[in-house]
Chain A
Amino acid sequence: MQLDAADKALIDSYQRGLPVCERPYQAMAQNLGLTENEVIRRLAALKEQKVLSRVGPVFEHSQAGASLLAAVAASPEQMDAAAARINLAPGVNHNYAREHRYNLWFVMTAADERTLKGRLDELEQQLGLPMLRLPMIEGYHIDLGFQIDWEALS
């Protein structure tokens, strides 16, 4: 993915602290020496190219509802089917294959704990695989965005 200096500057400057004012893209443009129209166009293009998933808020999950990291151990033959089944479950927003006996890892969210537990119970039954349920006890990382190492990428 080749990005130009202005795209990189947008990413470096605005993973947080996006202005809350009537014309935020204009404020960003002024700060970076671009035009408002150009900022909007670039953001739209970066979304289109899937460099950005969105422009907007990242919610604190523990305040926004219930969420939990779960894992199941699927056999290699079962894996794609199990992953597809997990993707269909309501509230699943991340689902990764990882190198471990527990090889499918996903995050499920719901409006409250009871709904979450019900959905997980149902999914566990559908999958027929024992499930690790790993709620967060304490979070240590403050999300400030992620400083991109452009040099390592080039």
Chain B
Amino acid sequence: MSMPQSHKGHVPKPFLFNTDSISAWGLLRLRQQLENGLPLTPRPYQTLAENTGLTEQQVMAAIEQWQQQGLIKRLGLVVKHRTLGYNANAMVVWDVPDEQVSQLGKTMASIPFITLCYQRPRQLPDWPYNLFCMIHGVSRDRVLAQLDTLIKDHQLTDIPHAVLFSTKAYLQRGGRYVSHG
């Protein structure tokens, strides 16, 4: 799979084995532990160290390095928007001419109410859309109004699109790669 090139200007390094003198297994265990979040203890990195066989300093160094490398996109509170009252969630998909998709993707990504924006392949004839963006809003009407604004402001009237509101969340949790999910 391709890397999201516009996120960073460098080729990411392997994330597990380039930290001298730290146990690779310890780092793998740390990855697993971190998928469940930071412990809510006064010294969470020390708690992680105890659970992984690393030292507190090594845990902090690994997390800082992963942030610099972009393996960790952000470190902080992961909010469940639905609980807060963001009840409308629309995936809006666009059929953008190939030569325009990158530029339009970057433009959309900078709009505050767009929470994700990706280019994905078309699958003709079933699926003609190649640009995906996500709008989280307080209500369906509000999301549709935001979409109208977007189309007007960026001259998107000629670009075919579809709006896929979500009607039910069957499952929602963080990605799990190394632990068993």
Contact = CB atoms under 8 A, between A and B. Distances in A.
Contacts of A132: 123, 126-127
A51 B80 CA distance: 5
Nearest to B34: A57
Interface string A111-154: 10100000000000000001011111111111111111100110
A53 B176 CA distance: 14
20 contacts: A11-B79, A20-B45, A20-B60, A22-B45, A52-B80, A53-B174, A58-B75, A59-B34, A59-B71, A59-B174, A59-B177, A60-B73, A63-B3, A64-B15, A64-B177, A93-B176, A99-B165, A109-B175, A136-B120, A137-B118
Interface of A: 1, 10-11, 14-18, 20-26, 36, 40, 43-44, 46-47, 49-69, 83-84, 86-87, 90-100, 102, 104-107, 109-111, 113, 130, 132-149, 152-153
A39 B174 CA distance: 23
Contacts of A111: 177-178
Q: Tell which of A18, A36, A59, A133 has the most Cβ of chain B within 10 Å.
A: A59
Interface stretch (B17-25, B103-111, B153-161): B103-111
Nearest to B163: A99
A66 B3 CA distance: 11
B84 A153 contact: yes
B42 A14 contact: no
A96 B167 CA distance: 7
B175 A67 contact: yes
Interface of B: 1-7, 12, 15, 34-38, 40-46, 56, 60, 63-64, 66-67, 69-81, 83-86, 89, 91, 102, 105-106, 108-109, 112, 114-121, 123, 126-127, 132, 136, 138, 142, 162-178, 180-181
Contacts, number: 287
Given A55-B38, A102-B127, A83 B170 contact: yes
A65 B178 CA distance: 9
Given A65-B177, A98-B167, A55 B37 contact: yes
A138 B119 contact: yes
B112 to A, nearest CB: 6
A53 to B, nearest CB: 5
B78 A53 contact: yes
A59 B80 CA distance: 16
A50 B80 contact: yes
A45 to B, nearest CB: 10
B42 A56 contact: no
Nearest to A110: B177
Contacts of B60: 20-21
